């Protein structure tokens, strides 16, 4: 029996939800990048290139950090699940060995 057997589906659901959030944020970033030319074409008074530079210098890196942080959640969930699986396997192996010893008594 695995410790995560009871919650594995919940962990998978959370992981799936986190992946969806990462995709949503990536979509928002794509939309922001798509708005730059539209805003520039309607810009009155100059500095439209500075607007683009500010978006690329400030907003895009922050969004990329957010996307990476969200991805890190799934990475850590996968690592934790792997650690639990390894521990369960080790415990099962030790229990089997103990059972073999008792069988010989």
Q: What pLDDT digit, counting tens, does each position of 37-84 carry? A: 999 888 887 788 898 999 999 999 999 999 999 999 999 998 988 888
Please give the residue range of the domain that contains residue 94.
10-104
Residue 1 lies in a domain: no
Average per-residue pLDDT in the chain?
89
Neighbours of 27 (CB within 10 A): 10
Residue 3 lies in a domain: no
Number of domains making up the chain? 1
Residue 78 lies in a domain: yes
pLDDT at 34 over 90: yes
Residue 4 lies in a domain: no
Neighbours of 31 (CB within 10 A): 9
Q: What does the alpha-carbon distance between residue 22 and residue 60 come to, in Å, rounded to a whole number? A: 15
Dihedrals phi, psi of 45, to nearest 5 degrees = 105, 10
Residue 5 lies in a domain: no
Residue 61 lies in a domain: yes
**What is the model's pLDDT at position 5?**
64
Residue 2 lies in a domain: no
Residue 49 lies in a domain: yes
Q: What is the CATH number of the domain that holds 72?
A: 1.10.287
**What pTM, to 2 d.p., does this model score?**
0.71
């Amino acid at each position: 029996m695995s410790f995560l057997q009871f919650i594995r589906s919940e962990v998978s659901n959370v992981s799936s939800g986190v992946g969806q959030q990462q995709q949503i944020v990536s979509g928002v970033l794509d939309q922001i990048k798509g708005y730059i030319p539209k805003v520039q074409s309607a810009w009155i008074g100059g500095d439209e290139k500075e607007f683009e530079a500010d978006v690329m210098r400030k907003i895009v890196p922050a969004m990329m950090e957010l996307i990476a942080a969200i991805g890190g959640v799934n990475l850590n969930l996968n690592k934790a699940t792997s650690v639990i699986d390894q521990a369960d396997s080790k415990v099962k192996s030790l229990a089997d060995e103990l059972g073999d010893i008792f069988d010989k008594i």
